[in-house]
Amino acid sequence: MAPDGFLSAHGIIDNTKFGQNLLSKVIKLLDGQLGERKKYKFGSKITEGYSPEQIKLILNYLDAQGHSSLPPEGFLTISGIANLLGIEDPAVKKAIENLGVNLGDTKIYKFKTNLTTGYSPDQQIKIIEYLKDSGAFISLPPEGYKSIRGMAEQFGVSKRRLAKATQDLLAELGRVESYKFFSHTTGGYSPEQQEIIKQYLDSTQKPLYSPPPKEYLSAHGTAKLLGIPSSIVKKAIKDLEGELGEIEEYKFGPRSAFGFSPEQIAKIAEYIEKRRQDVS
């Protein structure tokens, strides 16, 4: 198979408006400048392949000879589409890669001084629809909006408790929009929705969580005891949901968190060790 970006002579013709006779003459004229060409499999045929650098050399020569291929009206490059939509180039590139053959045939045109692929208005619509479906247009949260994680830090309660509260309050909270919080897209809660959640938490939880029984540990404390990252312990707790039995929330230092008994900690440690043995 040919490396990514390599084209056969027929592939160059398909991607430009130039005819076979013209392209053959140019390749012959540039033979010494093009350098080594290797043979690759293109479809069912094995023939010479041209690297992106060699293709650029051929197209630049054609352009210098007055054979430039200007894009039809409305055609845009990847950067042009990204600028139009107000997003980054990589998001558009990824959409094009994922759409693959569904995008249809593309050709190379001259955009100002650059020779690059141009996308028709119909192809742009397909790209935009894909980007919408993949959440590329999700905006940053308005000022004061918080995710469940943000509220957990603000209220000093666990994310699990907050998630349950938002489920219990679906009708009261109304519509919850998704926003980008750092690298994650998740529900964002307005200051008014946060107040509803806080009042619910205040009315359903004890004024102060009691200290944990002796030898009980939080997920963080369990990780410290086992000498492993907290993320591994949290993953194990999630996987073991339903098998650990009842888990109560206690006050560990200034914050509340779920506490695990020595028996539950032993189950968590056993599960993590078994997973480690399965991987090795």
> Is residue 249 assigned to a domain?
yes
Residues 106, 155 contacting (CB under 8 angstroms): no
Q: Which two tokens stand for residue 232?
A: 């591994």
CA 105, 110, 115, 119 torsion-angle sign:
negative
Spacing of C-alpha 29 from chain mean position: 45
The residues, ordered by sequence, that sit 6+ positions from 125 with a Cβ below 8 Å of its Cβ are none
Residue 142 included in any domain: no
The letter for the amino acid at 97 is E
> Which amino acid type is present at position 116?
T
119 and 56 share a domain? no
Nearest to 183 by CA among 138, 217, 249, 121: 138
Sequential pLDDT tens for the chain (280 residues)? 888 889 888 888 887 767 788 888 888 888 888 888 889 888 888 999 888 888 888 888 887 777 667 788 899 999 999 888 877 888 899 999 999 989 988 877 778 767 778 899 999 999 998 988 877 776 778 899 999 999 988 888 888 888 889 999 999 999 988 887 876 778 899 999 999 999 998 887 655 568 899 999 999 999 999 999 999 999 999 999 889 988 888 888 877 789 999 999 999 999 999 988 887 6
Residue 280, pLDDT score: 62
* Number of compact structural domains in the chain: 4
**CATH code, 113:** 1.10.1660
pLDDT reported for residue 232: 93
User: For the chain, where are the alpha helices, taking DSSP H only?
Assistant: 9-15, 20-29, 31-34, 52-64, 78-85, 89-99, 121-133, 148-155, 159-168, 170-173, 191-204, 219-226, 230-239, 262-279
pLDDT computed for residue 263 by the predictor: 95
C-alpha closest to that of 205 among 160, 148, 268: 160
pLDDT at 56: 84
pTM of model > 0.75: no
pLDDT score of 242: 83
In terms of domains, do 39 and 20 share one? yes
The pLDDT of residue 109? 78
As a 3-state breakdown, the chain gives helix, strand, coil percent values, each rounded to 5, of 50, 15, 35
Q: What is the pLDDT of residue 113?
A: 66
In this structure, the answer to whether residues 15 and 58 fall within a common structural domain is: yes
The answer to the question of residue 209 being in a domain is no
Q: Which domain does 235 fall in, by range?
A: 219-279
78 and 56 part of one domain: no
State residue 26's pLDDT score.
Answer: 85
User: Could you say which of 104, 137, 170 is where a domain stops?
Assistant: 137
Give how far the C-alpha of residue 178 lies from the chain's centroid of Cα atoms, to the nearest Å.
15
Predicted local confidence at residue 203, as pLDDT: 85
